Amino acid sequence: MSNRDAQQDFRLLLEELYRERTLRFFKAGQSIPLRNQEIWIVYRGLVQLATLQPSGDEALLGLAGSLMPLGRSLTLLEPYHAVALTNVDLLRLTTEEIHSSPRLARELTEQMARRLRQAEALLALAGKRLVIDRLQGFLYLLAHEFGHPTGEGIRIDVRLTHQQFANALGTTRVTVTRFLGELKYRGLIEIGADRRIYLKEPQRLAAASCF
């Protein structure tokens, strides 16, 4: 079953199980409260997961998009911040509910695997010595997870600031700006009028990574 079919199945199940439950809305930039014994499912939008290093730097741990789970029970880290990157709608589930519904658990297994694959990919990127390689791999990962094919190339449906790129890649904002410019100059990406990034040659970006 394809990723997209699995997501569709999960969405239908959630609608069936939680028809009466209200989604919680958070505006872009808002912190999302995390409580024990609760898991949020991203219904719409994108959530950034991060921790704060003792140095004061923020380290990106993941981006939770459509139907991905997040919650305190899914991390060992402290502090652990979940922040809405875009406007988001979230569905709240309790660990009890998950444990008592085998169908829910089954769908959740696949969504957990998506988060695991992403975390592993970020780990592989973190091990790269050159920032330009990390940036290329990160763009490819974003396109893989949150991209849509268009006539202009794959459009990344996530708008991150250069500072957010810098936090994700362990570098500075200035360096991100410089290397995005370089990738644009080399014809690998384009920045749309909507400030979204388009990947013109995803395979060349992938080749620079471990994907």
Q: For its own copies, which stretch binds (CB under 8 A), given 15-23, 104-112, 157-165, 194-202?
A: 104-112
Selected from 124, 175, 178, 196, the binder of its own copies by CB under 8 A is: 124
Cβ-based nearer residue to its own copies, 39 or 183 = 39
* Shortest Å, Cβ 147 to its own copies: 13
Instruction: Say how far apart CA 166 and CA 174 lie, in whole Å.
Output: 8
Cβ atoms of residues 84 and 47 within 8 Å:
yes
Selected from 21, 27, 106, 148, the binder of its own copies by CB under 8 A is: 106
Token pair for residue 67? 């139907």
* Shortest Å, Cβ 114 to its own copies: 10
Instruction: Say how far apart CA 104 and CA 108 lie, in whole Å.
Output: 6
Selected from 54, 151, 185, 195, the binder of its own copies by CB under 8 A is: 54
Reduced to 3 states (helix: H, G, I; strand: E, B; else coil), residue 19 is coil
Please report whether residue 83 would count as binding its own copies according to CB under 8 A.
Answer: no
Angle between helices 131-146 and 173-185 in degrees, nearest 10: 70
**Side by side, which strands form the sheet with 58-64?**
58-64, 47-52, 81-84
Token pair for residue 7? 């997501």
Instruction: Say how far apart CA 38 and CA 95 lie, in whole Å.
Output: 6
Please report whether residue 12 would count as binding its own copies according to CB under 8 A.
Answer: no
* Shortest Å, Cβ 58 to its own copies: 9
Please report whether residue 73 would count as binding its own copies according to CB under 8 A.
Answer: yes
Selected from 103, 161, 163, 186, the binder of its own copies by CB under 8 A is: 103
Instruction: Say how far apart CA 164 and CA 50 lie, in whole Å.
Output: 11
Please report whether residue 163 would count as binding its own copies according to CB under 8 A.
Answer: no
Please report whether residue 144 would count as binding its own copies according to CB under 8 A.
Answer: yes
Beta strands 153-156 and 197-199 are: antiparallel
Site residues (vs its own copies, CB under 8 A): 1, 49, 51-55, 57, 59-62, 73-79, 98-99, 102-103, 105-106, 108-109, 112-113, 115-124, 126-129, 133, 141, 144, 170, 208, 210-211
